[in-house]
Amino acid sequence: MGQTTRTSDGESCGVVAVGASAGGVEALSQFAAGLPQDFPYAVTMVLHMPPAAPSVLARIVNRSGPLQAVRAEHNMPLEPGRIHVCVPDRHLLVHDQRIVLSDGPTENGYRPAINALFRSVALAHGPRSVGVLLSGVLYDGVLGLDAIRSRGGTTIVQQPAEAMYPAMPLNALQAGVAEHEASAHDMGRLLMKLADRELKESDMERDANMELENRIAMGRRFSTSFNTESLGPPSGYVCPDCNGSLQMVSEGNFRCRVGHAWSGDALLQARDEEVETALWVALRSLQEKSRLARRLAEDESSTPLYERYNALADEAEHAVTVLGDRLAEAYTEAGDHGAG
């Protein structure tokens, strides 16, 4: 049975886990603005951000609404009516009635990660957990909402038409893991209605895979105290972060030996970035080859070698032109379709 967060008089309350990515600062601010002063839940909030990002999100959220928003600290108690905000380069997780900050493996290239937070709240608070997924791209947060729903919790997404980047909430709706949708500002009223429901606590079967993934997220960055092979069969793919083999946890859900987690779409995006890097290296190498061949030709008195070096330079310059034109076309098409 999941643990519950309790108020000072011993009355149990729920835990709301909120996740956002691209366009998330505005959505998180709107969400906080719509929460009432007497909000009975503890709130945890994650935004995907770079490791070196300035840690100002708590101040932004704190100015947005009536509830106090604070930077999450390790071992901080969860308190109803308070928003516990993530910090850069640490997973924001929940264990029992306290915050856990960890430097466990990244998920979809992020730390903090939405899925990691949602999973920990699902395991710790079961039917008293609520997952809220806001603006963002790809499938981030979908697996986390599924975890909350599978443990009896409630799942909510921002209305896709309102979200600056609608892919995350839209993908959650299409996957069938979102029970409610609302505007970010109106979610407070919806949550207050949900708080009045009578919840039945019941024993649930253990989910060994979910528990293992939660332990991985709570572990150290280079921990070797787990065995991801038990999560599923080899996928035949390698991890973009460490080049280790990936296990298939479920369809479109992968983990490597050291714990990095990837969704199918995030893995595809990482491959796109690898291909782009390789193409830029190819362009640079071809340009250097052309310049070197021209210089060697200028210094060569032998006619056959002079002609050979110039031919090599011509060939490299032609390849640069063809590759550059193809790359420009590809980027134009991607922009027309709204791709990154």
pLDDT given for residue 195 in this prediction: 84
Q: What is the mean pLDDT of residues 152-174?
A: 97
Mean pLDDT across 72-98: 96
Residue 202's pLDDT band (boundaries 50, 70, 90)? low
Q: Active-site positions?
A: 21, 48, 140
What is the structure's pLDDT at 13? Answer: 65
What CATH code would you report for 5-195?
3.40.50.180
3-class secondary-structure state, position 303: helix
pLDDT bucket at 330, cuts 50 / 70 / 90: low
Q: What is the average per-residue pLDDT within 36-56?
A: 93
- Where is pLDDT greater, at 221 or 172? 172
Average pLDDT over residues 7-20: 72
Q: Percentage of the chain with pLDDT > 70?
A: 91
What is the per-residue pLDDT across 138-156, written as a single tens digit (0 to 9) for each?
Answer: 899 999 999 999 999 999 9
- Strand 154-158 versus strand 180-182 pairing type: parallel
On the question of pLDDT at 123 being above 90, the answer is yes
Q: What's the pLDDT band for 262 if we cut at 50, 70, 90?
A: very high
**Per-residue model confidence (pLDDT) at position 269:** 87
**Residue 70 confidence (pLDDT):** 97
Contacts with 215 (C-beta within 8 Å, 6 or more apart), sequence order:
226
DSSP string across 20-42: E-TTHHHHHHHHHHTS-TT--SE
Specify whether the CB–CB gap between 45 and 18 falls below 8 A: yes
- Residue 251 has what pLDDT? 84
* Whole-structure pTM value: 0.82
Window from 69-78, 171-180, 236-245 with minimum mean pLDDT: 236-245
pLDDT of residue 283: 86
In which band, very low, low, confident or very high, does the pLDDT at 4 lie, cut at 50, 70 and 90?
very low
Instruction: Give pLDDT, residue 326.
Output: 76
pLDDT at 2 over 80: no
- pLDDT at residue 8 tops 80: no
Tell whether the model's pLDDT for residue 26 goes beyond 60.
Answer: yes
- Comparison of pLDDT for 84 and 208, the residue scoring more: 84
CB burial readout 99-133, b (16+ within 10 A) else e: bbbbebbbbbbbbbbbbbbbbbbbbbbbbbbbbbb
Mean pLDDT, the chain, integer: 89
Secondary structure element (H or E) that encloses residue 180, with its range: strand 180-182
Secondary structure (DSSP) of 68-103: EEEE--TTPBP-TTEEEE--TTSEEEEETTEEEEE-
